[in-house]
Amino acid sequence: MSTSVGILGTGSAVPALAVSNEELARRVPGAAPDWVVRKTAIRSRRFAAADEATSDLAARAAERALSDAGLGVDRVDYLIVSTSTPDHPQPPTACLVQDRLGAYGAACWDVNAVCAGFVHGLVTARALVADRPGAHALVVGADVYSRILDFGDRRTAVLFGDGAGAAVVGAVPAGRGVVAHELASRGDAAELIRVEAGGSRSPASPETVVAGEHFFRMIGRGVSEIVLAEVPPFVDKLLARAGVSADEVRHVVPHQPNGVLLGELVRACGLTAATTHRTVEEYANVGSASVPLTLDHANRAGRLRAGELVLLLGFGGGMSFGACLLRW
């Protein structure tokens, strides 16, 4: 691709309601605050208000990203929303965000690669912008997991929060922007992360509601095992494609599954020389929003310097994996 494409601006949004481990313990049997910290490093998370949905958080994050990029909504050609907790099965949440923003010149669609979705959307946006010089894409990751958690299951209920993050993608100076990317999927491990009912396989019914089949389910040990086995060689493949060593990467902005797994993964990938940016302690796992929200926090704190290599790393249900190496 002759056009260098990168991130022009970032934004994020979280609900106002902060839920501490102490507060959550009153709703989740067996979730003692010290147990949650020991197992996950999570101390707090945000939960959406009753009248707050995924599109609301997505639109707020998008507005902030456009402001950071210095662009008006009329400059958005593509609007991609990555979510596994859409407002509705139809229409696409991206179309609702478009309407909230007034970005009527944009083509809009949703991506569902669960927690890897933002990186998948970013890679798609990069290709579209490179193919159409002068175009801009707005890529948003947003999830409201509090709506689908089973608060009787401490293994999952303590891990998740709600939030959104966004990035504006466009042309950048030569030598900057996306250096390389890698995407992968393991459909044979799809059962590890799932919501069993509500689709064409098992439509919603009184029976599926009573059985709790609309709740998020995860086999945590299986997820940890496949992440630690698959992600390090996946990252090695990306770095080899880019022609750089792990020691040259200055920043890692990973999905935030839980703080303990995150530490193990960074060590297994050989990325300990880089700064690993973390928001999991304050916001928990916010699904597809984890990578862009964490990126926005690092960007606004001035931690990313021009010319430094930044690795975005997502992984989640499917199982799906996505990595994108940027020169900031």
- Residues marked as catalytic: 115, 255, 285
Distance (Å, whole) CA 138 – CA 79 = 5
Residue closest to 18 by CA, chosen among 291, 281, 288, 293: 281
Q: What is the DSSP string of 98-117?
A: HHHHT-TTSEEEEE--GGGH
Distance (Å, whole) CA 216 – CA 150 = 7
Please report, to the nearest 10 degrees, the dihedral formed by the alpha carbons of residues 181, 186, 190, 195 taken in order: 10
Distance (Å, whole) CA 313 – CA 325 = 9
Give the distance, in angstroms, between the CA of residue 291 and the centroid of all CA atoms in the same chain: 4
The tokens for 229 are 């086995």
Q: Collapse the DSSP code of 174 into the 3-class scheme (helix H, G, I; strand E, B; otherwise coil) and give the result.
A: coil
For residues 105 and 74, the answer to whether their CB atoms sit within 8 Å is yes
Question: Phi and psi of 283, rounded to 5°?
Answer: -115, -5
Strand duo 5-13 + 162-171: pairing: antiparallel
Q: How far is CA 155 from CA 71, 198, 219, 258, 268, in A?
A: 42, 22, 9, 12, 24
The tokens for 218 are 């995860």
The tokens for 287 are 């699904």
